[in-house]
């Protein structure tokens, strides 16, 4: 297991930490907002109320200029090195569907596609078949039996699904069969190892089953990845962590680092608050709270919706604060500028409240105010040591 200074110095205490992630919260200057960002424009009285007693700063999700996917961005916030511990798309897809992966499982993304009589791809997405259709086809593929492994197929959405192979001795040295364009045949699986043989057999059987299922008459596989043991936050930091998220993907990444997955009912911020209350009562001392809509709005380029998503979080935030955390951190996993409709590399505001802090550097919770905050600019991976320290969970280094 990976060990560093933080691991050596971490100690179990009664203090409780809340890490609230407003997904994609960061943005860039927007002309229609007079050069402000959605966070600057949003009315966030509850967050602003914390600011005079908080330290603010900016985190760099992975490294300067690098735009992270959700997997690496969250792993960094959980204290894992997202470059050393890269999570493959296949594993993320399976975790995202709450498939119960076991260590050593080989996972891949499936795209249903259309091929012509010569096996040449004419549509890489099979006309974006409905999710119902996808579920029906996945049921057929689930009957495939391959020697030496168990095979599981899950529907994801529209033409997307995922497959998991379980058995001894699998590896993920398998390149995508998706050539990335139409007018070509799917790429062949090369290699003579067990994984290559298993995947080849699966594709062949799938081809037989789907043969007369036009437009979804073949499959493309990509993002082959092995589900491997991740360093757990329990072992590394002596925390008992739990996740209150509504989207499967974030529960999945949290589970990867050993978090308990909380059941949130109803599936909204009220349900999340209720789940967090129960978790604290049953001994969890680190809560990862995830709020998705700001990222979705950013990806849609919808400035008003992004502002609304932030304000919605702000309105509900007191119901988390009153649960009695010793240290509260509010941040994002990455920026999702509305003008880009994409994740980006721009640093992300961070607020830490609780514990001994230098305060009074910032006047509100925004990119601009966080930029001049007492925490300065740091890597997302350094957040966990800051939170542990603020919560009195890190011993002194050296005499």
Backbone angles phi, psi at 100, to 5 degrees: -85, 75
Q: Is 349 in the site for its own copies (CB under 8 A)?
A: no
Per-residue contact string for residues 72-91; x = within reach of its own copies by CB under 8 A: x---------xx--xxxx--
* Closer to its own copies by Cβ: residue 87 or 269: 87
Alpha carbons 254 and 114: distance in angstroms, whole number? 35
Helix axes 248-256, 70-77, angle to 10 degrees: 50
Closest distance of CB 387 from its own copies, Å: 8
CA-to-CA dists, residue 262 to 18, 42, 46, 75, 243, angstroms = 14, 29, 25, 18, 6
Closest distance of CB 374 from its own copies, Å: 6
Closest distance of CB 144 from its own copies, Å: 25
Task: Pull the structure tokens for residue 140.
Answer: 């057929």
**Residues 262 and 244: beta-carbon distance below 8 Å:** yes
Can you tell me which of 21, 77, 92, 287 binds its own copies, judged by CB under 8 A?
Answer: 92
> Max Cα separation, the chain?
74
* Closer to its own copies by Cβ: residue 85 or 146: 85
* Closer to its own copies by Cβ: residue 247 or 345: 345
Closest distance of CB 208 from its own copies, Å: 30
Cβ-based burial of 185 (10 A; exposed 0-12, middle 13-18, buried ≥19):
middle
Closest distance of CB 383 from its own copies, Å: 8
**Residues 353 and 50: beta-carbon distance below 8 Å:** yes
Q: Is 377 in the site for its own copies (CB under 8 A)?
A: yes
Q: Which residues bind its own copies (CB under 8 A)?
A: 5-6, 9, 28-29, 35, 37, 58, 62-72, 82-83, 86-89, 92-93, 223, 337, 339-340, 342-347, 356-361, 367-368, 371-372, 374, 376-379, 382, 384-389, 394-399
């Amino acid at each position: 297991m990976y060990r560093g200074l933080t691991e050596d110095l971490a100690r179990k205490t009664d203090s409780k930490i809340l890490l609230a992630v407003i997904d994609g919260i960061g943005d860039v200057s927007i002309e229609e907002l007079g050069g402000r960002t959605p966070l600057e424009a949003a009315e966030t009285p509850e967050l602003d109320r914390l600011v005079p007693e908080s330290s603010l700063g900016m985190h760099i999700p992975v490294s300067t200029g690098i735009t992270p996917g959700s997997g690496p961005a969250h792993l960094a916030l959980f204290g894992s090195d997202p470059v050393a511990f890269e999570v493959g798309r296949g594993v993320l897809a399976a975790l995202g569907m709450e498939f119960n992966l076991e260590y050593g499982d080989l996972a891949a993304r499936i795209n249903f596609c259309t091929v012509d009589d010569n096996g040449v791809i004419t549509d890489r997405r099979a006309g974006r078949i409905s999710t119902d259709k996808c579920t029906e086809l996945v049921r057929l593929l689930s009957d495939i039996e391959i020697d030496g492994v168990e095979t599981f197929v899950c529907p994801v959405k529209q033409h997307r699904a995922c497959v998991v192979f379980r058995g001894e001795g699998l590896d993920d040295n398998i390149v995508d069969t998706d050539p990335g364009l139409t007018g070509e045949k799917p790429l062949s699986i090369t290699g003579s190892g067990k994984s290559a043989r298993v995947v080849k057999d699966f594709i062949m059987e799938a081809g037989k089953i789907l043969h007369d299922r036009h437009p979804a008459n073949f499959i493309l596989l990509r993002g082959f990845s092995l589900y491997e043991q991740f360093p757990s936050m329990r072992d590394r930091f002596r925390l008992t962590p739990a996740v209150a998220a509504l989207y499967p993907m974030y529960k999945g990444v949290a589970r990867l680092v050993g978090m308990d997955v909380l059941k949130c009912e109803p599936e909204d911020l009220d349900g999340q608050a209720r789940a967090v209350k129960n978790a604290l009562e049953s001994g969890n001392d680190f809560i990862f709270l995830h709020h998705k809509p700001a990222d979705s709005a950013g990806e849609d380029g919808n400035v008003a919706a992004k502002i609304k998503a932030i304000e919605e979080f702000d309105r509900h935030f007191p119901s988390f604060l009153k649960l009695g955390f010793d240290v509260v951190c509010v941040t994002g996993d990455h920026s999702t500028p509305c003008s880009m409709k994409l994740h980006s590399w721009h640093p992300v505001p961070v607020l830490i409240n609780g514990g001994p802090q230098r305060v009074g550097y910032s006047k509100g919770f925004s990119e601009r105010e966080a930029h001049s905050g007492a925490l300065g600019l740091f890597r997302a991976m350094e957040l966990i040591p800051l939170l542990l320290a603020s919560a009195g969970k890190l011993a002194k280094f050296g005499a």
